[in-house]
Amino acid sequence: MAKLENPILMATIGGAQGLRGEVRAKAYTADPTALGDYGNLHSLDGRTFEILDIREMKNVVVVRFRGINDRNAAEALNGLELYIERDNLPDEELEEDEFFYADLEGLEALDDQGVSYGTVTGVFDFGAGDLLELKGPGKRPVLIPFSEVSVLDIDLEGGKITIDPLAAGLVDGEDDGPKFTSDKPKKNK
């Protein structure tokens, strides 16, 4: 297998399951059992994995790969990340305003005046909502909320996203807003 041009992480293999070569895997697909629907999976070291059987089990899937026939071979895969080529993802099933997060990486983040705030280098979800990581030349990476308020437009063909830098927390507003005042009157001295 040649090196993947645009790899998309689909699963991470965990421990062995049973004695016949099955492994537990964390699938990063909406339907975990659809992991095999995208073709063969590949590791970054060039190995190819064909799924023979897959079933759901609690919060993971149990997978049997061709050529992995015993527990020792399955245990050797622990921690291995499996990828597919980006072209294997089904674009035709997407709605007009839908996209894959992987397609956002590399887009330039601009405000409505054309000022660049860097390039999208990652999309993260730490539990409180999605975040975009922006990295500019010579700047530290920053995280901005991936919301309709912060990200105004996504232009995949143009290679850019339009952001509101104030809503994204990248600039301070000229008016810091209302100041907190106590309900108690101030004492005159």
| Tens digits of residue pLDDT in 24-35 | 999 988 889 989
Cβ within 8 Å of residue 159, ≥6 positions away = 106, 107, 108
- Which of 55, 79, 62, 58 has the alpha carbon at shortest distance from 19? 62
In this structure, what DSSP letter does residue 102 have? G
Contact status, residue 53 vs residue 64, Cβ threshold 8 Å: yes
Ranking 24-28, 39-43, 183-187 by mean pLDDT, the lowest is 183-187
Contact status, residue 88 vs residue 102, Cβ threshold 8 Å: no
Structure tokens at 13: 């293999």
Question: Which pLDDT does position 170 carry in this prediction?
Answer: 87
**Per-residue DSSP letters for 51-74?**
EEEEEEETTEEEEEETT--SHHHH
Q: Which pLDDT band holds residue 98 (cuts at 50, 70, 90)? A: confident
Over pLDDT 90: what percentage of the chain? 56
| Helical spans, DSSP H, in the chain | 71-75
CA distances from 141 to 7, 120, 187 (A): 22, 9, 47
Arithmetic mean of pLDDT, 34-38: 88
Q: What is the pTM of this model?
A: 0.68
Ranking 58-72, 102-116, 159-173, 175-189 by mean pLDDT, the lowest is 175-189
Q: Which pLDDT band holds residue 178 (cuts at 50, 70, 90)? A: very low
